Amino acid sequence: MAMLPILEFPDPRLRTKAALIDPAEVTTPAFQTLLDDMFETMYDAPGIGLAASQVDVHKRFMVIDVSEEKNQPMVFINPEIIEQEGGQVYQEGCLSVPGIFADVTRANHIIVRFLDRQGQPQELGTDGLLAICVQHEMDHLEGKLFIDYLSPLKREMVRKKLAKARKHVA
């Protein structure tokens, strides 16, 4: 397995809309290895979700594990939210926007249709943290970041804060 570089805001590649995956690709050894690499990268970061777009693979899939023990890995391929209801405010962060957290309103309950790791069609109704995470990662697949829900002024403050942090690291 290999660690993958995670793109960081304001990298323009994060704004790329991901393409659907051919279901025949799902069971290939190369794709399965990529999924393993994404889980390793996500766990190491540490994070609870990682969209392919964040590792510069612009295809519609993501990996998620919201368990405390990090032992419930989930793969969502070509995900589509088919139902959503309610709304909740949740403080979100993002591996592509390190060190920044902000309140975002998301649907409280969703039903998502997707292919699993074996390419089998699934439908999952969920709420709470998993619902928030699915919506957050699906935004990445559309080229959208959680900071897009912030005002332009706050978004600019985030950009400047990250640029300053990168200067201190360099």
Q: What class is the 12-169 domain?
A: alpha beta
What percent of the chain is predicted at pLDDT more than 70? 99
Min mean pLDDT across 2-11, 71-80, 156-165 is at: 156-165
> Is residue 137 flagged as an active site residue?
yes
What pLDDT, on the 0 to 100 scale, is given for residue 1? Answer: 73
Binding-site residues for Fe cation, in ranges, read 94, 136, 140
Identity (one letter) of the amino acid at 97?
Answer: V
What pLDDT, on the 0 to 100 scale, is given for residue 169? Answer: 67
Domain ranges for the chain, please list them.
Answer: 12-169
Which pLDDT band holds residue 167 (cuts at 50, 70, 90)?
A: confident
Q: What would the pLDDT profile of 120-156 be if each residue is shown by its tens digit? A: 999 999 999 999 999 999 999 999 999 999 999 988 8
Residue 82 has pLDDT above 90, yes or no: yes
Which pLDDT band holds residue 164 (cuts at 50, 70, 90)?
A: confident
Residue 119 has pLDDT above 90, yes or no: yes
What percent of the chain is predicted at pLDDT more than 90? 87
Name the active-site residue from 68, 69, 83, 137.
137
Helix (H, G, I), strand (E, B) or coil at 157: helix
What pTM does this model have?
0.94
